[in-house]
Amino acid sequence: MDRIPVADVFAANQVNAVVFRCSALASWAGVQYTAFYDPQGEIVLGRRGRQEKAWTFEPLGYRGAMRDAHNAISLGVGPDGRLHISYDHHGDHLHYRMGVAPGETRFLPEAPMTGVREGRVTYPQFVNGPAGQFYFFYRDGGSGNGDLCMHVLNPAGGGRWRALPQAVVSGEGRSNPYWWRPAVGRWRCRIWRPTRRTFYEPIREQRSPHHVLRQ
Kindly list the structural domains of the chain, giving each domain's residue range(s) and its CATH number in brackets, ordered by start: 25-214 (2.120.10.10)
CA geometry: angle at 210 spanning 204 and 211, to 5°? 100
Pairing of strands 145-154, 169-170: antiparallel
Q: Choose among 153, 158, 113, 111: nearest CA to 134.
A: 153
Q: Are 166 and 209 in contact (CB under 8 A)?
A: no
pLDDT surpassing 50 at residue 101? yes
pLDDT surpassing 90 at residue 169? no
pLDDT at residue number 119: 96
Q: What is the pTM of this model?
A: 0.87
pLDDT at residue number 208: 60
Q: Return the higher-pLDDT residue of 3 and 189.
A: 3
pLDDT surpassing 80 at residue 196? no
pLDDT surpassing 90 at residue 155? no
